Chains A and B, each alone.
Chain A
Amino acid sequence: MPGAPMDRPANQPTWPKTIAPFIQAIEHRPDFPRRLAELVGKMSSRIDAQEAAQLAAHARGLSPHDPVVWALTDEAIRAQVPLWHWVILNDKARNATYAAGIAAAIHPGMTVLEIGGGSGILSMLAARAGADHVYCVECQPLLAEAARRNIVANGFSDRITVIEAKSTDVAVGAQLPRRCDALVQELISNTVVGETLLPVLADARARLLVDDPVMVPDRVWAMGQLIGDREPWHIGDSLGLDLSALDLFADPISARNKPAEMPLGPPVELFSLDMTARSLPTAWTVRLDASQAGTCTGVQQWIGIGFPGGGVYENAPGTAPSSWAFRHHWLLEPRAVDPETPVTVDVTVHGPLLAITPQPKTA
């Protein structure tokens, strides 16, 4: 477990009113950190999730070398700080591509906005590239605090301000002195749009950025191809027992670290979003060809990110392992395909959701 960063007196959070009597009854005991961790473990589902995470982090700060405290508080922390934060920060290709894109686009004299700051890495890269000032917006209190500490540790505290809020709650004249010249963001989910990318961008363009801002990245896209992999939920023949009643609750879009085993056609761009455009489309119609005959069960989808300076990140099949997963959008009704019989799909964005809907077969 990490040692040094937690080896300091933790700031005492405000005790949640509902369980304050419990905490006050144990806070002077020598075993308080472990008792607090037990309390969080038992009550986390009955109190506000962010308050539970704050208490959990406090218990860890008080007893940074007690593995029992860490184990008891893991669920509460994980609910607020998912493990994918470590996965993306360990994606060296992602970090390097972002660093190059930021270095190409961010210059002295610029004021930069980052939305979804997490660890603060992209804000620090922007400061390192010469930005006059960077406003790092992070709504999760634990992450905002971690970002502040990282920024202090790296000597950027005079040029980066962490704003603990949702970007939609940030305003020029309040947290921001003026509209920012550039936006740096990595709000790109496995489906591109899953982290409410489009509404957040639209809001930032309207209220927080100059008229023609520098955007890093400046383009994102989704690629897709037909696949014939077995849908994971069709298990009706298991041991001769029909278990298909569970199909109704299946996950229509699986996330996979490995690409599909049975690609049936070439990759096709499902959609592409120009981040510098004033408004972004949310519906496309795309033809997906089959290069061989087979039963198409779904569409494998992955992401691409383009940067000023020409850098590109794409987690295409056959490339190095990525912190982004493949998404398999299963067809509700598998259909026969061959080189003469493509599948035309409607690709639509519904807020944070991406739907890939096959059009009916043409006669």
Chain B
Amino acid sequence: MSDNCAISASTRITQAPGQVSTELDNEIVIMSVEEGAYFSMNPVASDIWSRIAEPMAFSALLAALAEEYDAVPDMIEADVRALLASLLKDNLIALEN
């Protein structure tokens, strides 16, 4: 939870080094090179993963997703925070405050 709380509007989020991803069946699958673990992302998570190929501010990410998806902003933010917390736990993303 602390990781989740560490994300503020200006936090820049990007894919962490040490992982490789590829697209399979319209989903992105990520492999952590050292651990050999695989993570399969659903289409929306795959979209978010693609958007953070380059560092992106959390607020800009939320704004871009609000443009793309028909959902209320609070719900988008809650879902994105949950996803990022999960990715952070598995060392798949890096945060810059």
| Chain A interface residues (CB < 8 Å from chain B) | 18-22, 24-26, 35, 38-39, 42-43, 46-47
Contacts and interface: CB of A to CB of B under 8 A. Distances in A.
B24 A46 contact: yes
B25 interface: yes
A39 B29 CA distance: 12
Given A38-B36, A42-B38, A21 B25 contact: no
B55 to A, nearest CB: 21
B33 interface: yes
Contacts of B23: 18
Contact of A43 (B20, B24, B33): B24
Interface of B: 20-25, 29, 31, 33, 36, 38
A18 B27 CA distance: 11
Contacts, number: 29
A35 B20 CA distance: 14
A24, A39, A42 pick with most chain B CB within 10 angstroms:
A42
B24 A25 contact: no
A46 B25 contact: yes
Given A26-B33, A38-B36, A42-B38, A21 B21 contact: yes
Nearest to A22: B31
Contacts of A26: 33, 36
Please name the 7 residue pairs, one residue from A and one from B, whose CB atoms are nearest each other, closest first. Answer: A25-B20, A21-B22, A21-B20, A22-B31, A46-B24, A25-B33, A18-B24
Contact of B24 (A19, A24, A35, A38): A19
A19 B27 CA distance: 13
B36 A18 contact: no
Contacts of A24: 20
8 contacts: A18-B22, A21-B20, A21-B21, A22-B20, A38-B36, A43-B38, A46-B24, A46-B29
A46 B20 CA distance: 17
A96 to B, nearest CB: 48
A144 B71 CA distance: 55
B88 to A, nearest CB: 21
